[in-house]
Amino acid sequence: MAMRVTGMMSGLDTESIIQELVAAKRTKVDTLTKEQTKLQWKQDAWKELNSKIRKLFDGSLNNLQYQSSFMKKTTSVSNSNLVSVITDSEAMDSVQTLEISKLAKAGYLTGAKMSATDGKSLSSGSKLVDRLGIQAGGKFEITVGGKTTDIEIDENTTISSLVSTLQSAGVKASFDVANQRLFIGAEGTGKDKDFTITASNSDGTDALSKLGILVYDNSTKAAYQKYADMAGDSDLKDAAIKEREAALLQSYTAEKKSLEDTIKSLEENQTKLVDAYNEEYGKDSSVDIEDTDQRKDRKAALNTEIENLTKELESDSLSPEEKAEKEAALNKAKGELSYIEGYDTNQASLQAKQNRLNVLNTDYLNGDGTAKAKITEEATAYIDEKISKAVDVINNFSTLKGSDSGEAETKAARVIGQNAEILLNGALFTSNSNTIKVNGLTITCKGETNGETISMTTENDVSGIYDMVKGFIKEYSELINEMDKLYNAESSKGYEPLTDEEKDAMSETEVEKWETKIKDALLRRDSTVSSVSSAMKEIMASGFTVGGKTMYLSDFGIETLGYFNAADNEKNAYHINGDEDDESVKSKTNDLKAMISSDPNTVVDFFNQLSKTLYSKLKDLMGRTDYSSSYTVYDDKKMKEDYDSYSTKIKEAEQKLKDYEDKWYSKFSAMETALAKMQSNSSAVTSLLGG
């Protein structure tokens, strides 16, 4: 901004004079700004009111349109400590009896405390063979929901890897380091989600014992019995062998596919290694990296070269140039050796995969994907081993079960998974969870009744329907009161938005009161407020035909307080007679509740018609037009255009004001220049005259 120096020659306060002149012209800018501010406040007022109308439209009014909203049922129980009930709309009105025989339980196994052979504490990384003395080759199986997973202990099996295997089998499993115990639990309640753990051979029994998870209960006995029965039944055994053959065939077929994919990937990697080596080192070494002997000789030569260069670099007599040269040679030798060793590793892996694939194709799988005799042999051996172990367990079960006793620290504790069982009106229902759905009732069992009979009474939810209607009446009344208040507001004639200068001359409290006066009257006598509220009042006062009779809100005990009893701007609000939350009518009889209990269909029919009519009318009023958006009762588009128009007009007026100001500065500047020249000429004349 240019610096202005004024009044130096004339002695006039030209700055103040110009500002006074400009102030007289600023009135137009201030007027436009005030009008725009007032429009902005009006937009805000309408946005707030429109949101309340939309809330009624989308909420309680929308719900009342559907008969399903009135289909509310409730079930009371005589002992809520033992049972809770959620009631669907289709549940029948009834009084029923309930007995809870069993609660659903999840299977759970608390392992016995494990003891390491060295007497020290075990960790998750402890190997079972080294620390617990378990024999490699020990086999056992875990069955969850009909799916059996075989587990075999080897030299590298750790507590952590065993826990992971159990989790993959479909149970929750963890190792508590502090207590040195394994914990195994079913993923959910009920018999179908329970699990059993059984040994497949003698070493498997020893493994389960040392892991602290060996149990002999009825569930485990049934799992062993399945295999023991095959000893005397060739059909059962043959079926089990065929089932195992199918599983092995599927497993080996999948393994073959995986091997073929891996081999292809390794071969591609091998080609890349050869190409990269030849490009980087082939010219210098003249070595065929794919030749085993040449590769072996080159590795030996490189190791010798690396060893010699490393020693030479330890010498202090090397010049910087010599040292740099040898370091470069050393790095090159190490790089070449890395390529060759990478090739060896890739080649070894490729060979191992090819060998395994050859075994599968030779011993296990025919070319058409069918099984060879080797699979039958393995399946038969597998089943025979399980039968042998199962027969031994079943024949000695009583003794074995008795041996699973002693101090709590040294034995496993087992909770068998079971289903919930209830007797509803004497009929038995079971579920794998403690929540049972029967004919529209969701029954959640909390405890066994132990001979007590619980009474369950299902009926219309009078309170639920009443609260829904009450919520609508309350929301409507609050909205209509708000609209009446806005429409009937006191006039703010003589009040306009304040300029910054005007605000500076007043206190914050005075400014707030001034602006509140204007904002409260923004929608005073607004035609849109009048048309919307009048339409709503008309529909609420209308009658609707129910069962051949015209009925009104008053027939349900829902009325206004009357012109003389209601407060200002609350004369169109409705009150439910007998509403305990409404001081003005709480002493009256609650006809609405009585009708919901005695004649719910009439209540539903009436409020369906009323809500649909009011909903349809509001939908029309909120329809999109050239001046308003969808779901908007006021002309929001028009207001936005007017607001933008004010912005343009204000900008133009401010530019004109600036031009006017610049004009006066220019004139006073010219005057000062003329006075300066006159002063200069006067001084010259005086000087000539000897003054």
Q: What is the pLDDT of residues 542-584, one digit of tens each?
A: 999 999 999 999 999 999 998 889 999 999 999 999 999 999 9
Q: What is the pLDDT of residues 127-136, one digit of tens each?
A: 999 999 999 9
Give residue for tokens 């923004």: 522
Single-letter amino acid code for the residue at 14? T
**Maximum Cα interatomic distance, the chain, rounded to a whole number of Å:** 153
**Residues in a beta bridge with 454:** 98
The angle that helices 527-540 and 462-487 make with each other, rounded to 10 degrees, is: 150
Mean pLDDT of 601-623: 94
DSSP states of 212-270: T-----HHHHHHHHHHHGGGG-HHHHHHHHHHHHHHHHHHHHHHHHHHHHHHHHHHHHH
Helices in 118-217 by DSSP H: which ranges?
128-132, 159-169, 202-211
Q: Residue 684's pLDDT band (boundaries 50, 70, 90)?
A: low
What distance in Å separates the CA atoms of residue 239 and residue 251, rounded to the nearest whole number?
18
Instruction: Check pLDDT > 70 for residue 687.
Output: no
Each residue of 283-315: b (16+ CB within 10 Å) or e? eebebebeeeeebeebbeebeebbeebeeeeee
What distance in Å separates the CA atoms of residue 393 and residue 386, rounded to the nearest whole number?
11
Phi/psi class of residue 103: alpha, beta or left (left: φ > 0; alpha: ψ in -120 to 50)?
A: beta
Each residue of 348-372: b (16+ CB within 10 Å) or e? eebeebeeebeebeeebbeeeeebb
Phi/psi class of residue 197: alpha, beta or left (left: φ > 0; alpha: ψ in -120 to 50)?
A: beta
Q: First vs last Cα of the chain: how many Å apart? A: 42
Residue 107 is classified by DSSP as -
Q: Give me the residue spans of the domains in the chain.
A: 73-104+419-460, 258-377
Instruction: Check pLDDT > 70 for residue 479.
Output: yes
Of 206, 205, 123, 115, the closest CA to residue 163 belongs to 123
Instruction: Check pLDDT > 70 for residue 96.
Output: yes
Q: Are 139 and 204 in contact (CB under 8 A)?
A: yes
The mean predicted confidence, pLDDT, of the chain is 90
Q: What is the pLDDT of residue 5?
A: 47
Q: Residue 223's pLDDT band (boundaries 50, 70, 90)?
A: very high
Three-class DSSP category at 97? strand
Query: Which helix (H) or strand (E) is 38 found in, with range?
Result: helix 27-58
Residue 641: C-alpha distances to residues 39, 449, 636, 648, 654 (Å): 11, 72, 9, 11, 20
Give residue for tokens 């809520």: 80
Q: What is the pLDDT of residue 407?
A: 63
Mean pLDDT of 445-471: 93
Mean pLDDT of 371-390: 94
Q: What is the pLDDT of residues 225-277, one digit of tens each?
A: 999 999 999 999 999 999 999 999 999 999 999 999 999 999 999 999 999 98
Instruction: Check pLDDT > 50 for residue 3.
Output: no
What distance in Å separates the CA atoms of residue 245 and residue 256, rounded to the nearest whole number?
16
The pTM of the full predicted model, rounded to 2 decimals, is 0.62
Tokens for 120, please give them. Answer: 């020290």
**Residues in a beta bridge with 421:** 102, 430
Q: Phi/psi at 281 (nearest 5 deg)?
A: -130, -15
Lowest mean pLDDT among 361-370, 440-449, 646-655, 664-673: 664-673
